[in-house]
Structure 1
């Protein structure tokens, strides 16, 4: 049967797949890649806005699972959630690295000009990427319980009820964590006051 997205491994099977990974079973890695590869790439594309970079992020995520299977703890959540959070973290690292490269390249380019050019508006792609970085950095700073619910709701397409089942928590708790996380994100991402307006005496 064809699937439009990822074909999740049942939570009960996570421990068995994990055990096989620890013993170096390559078929276990292939199963996990088939099940969660689309999810990992989807998350990476949302953060990086670059399909090629998302592919690199996916390779890094599954390489880490293969080389360090002990990093995943079956008692702390599903393999799906762990992989989605790892994909998010790796993608944010990529965006930060790109931002540093752009900054250095811009500084080098500016040094070649003897006459400074009048400042054109910022490139929209750069602005979009910086906004995305702000959002995902704010998300990464949420407490882990809130971050897990947000990941499942917005990156894995779960309802808060489905997230509650997957995380093994009451529905009310999942709803509260999601609401609190969204409020925190909204406050964190609110435009800061203009320093010029605050200059007084």
Structure 2
């Protein structure tokens, strides 16, 4: 897509270098879909978004993913940007904080799911967990996953090991979101029940 500010408007006489855009003009171009403004926005604020995400998440790889999500989300939702309510930088950083919060929520949900299906194999009350307990939990979890119907296995493996949301799992597998939710609920319940039975048998 050709920039709105191409040609003689941004070229000095005999000089081919483009004049730097102000943040305001960059925001205007971004809002109307000027792809060069997307690249410029990333150059100006991508490192800042990555730094904020890294500090909050403590994981550089996850922060890279979140940074990409921020700019993809900003570009796809650019019609929602209103210069009258703040600068493009402020708007993008607002999206960044939301994406980081979403990532932390997914992480917490993932941990709760794992705890739910491994609780029956935990150490007895009053006994501290050991590294061996953690290894045992992982082995039991993997074993119980292998016993599930194929689609329930697929959904739960994507949730546990790739930390995908249910909407992302639906997109990855092509399954309806409602089906993904059903497989998740049934799979977790089945694993929890089996672990409880196994735990009682070995108690």
Normalised to the residue count of structure 2, the TM-score between the two structures is 0.48
Greater relative contact order (Cα < 8 A, sep 6+)? 1
TM-score by length of 1: 0.49
Larger radius of gyration: 2
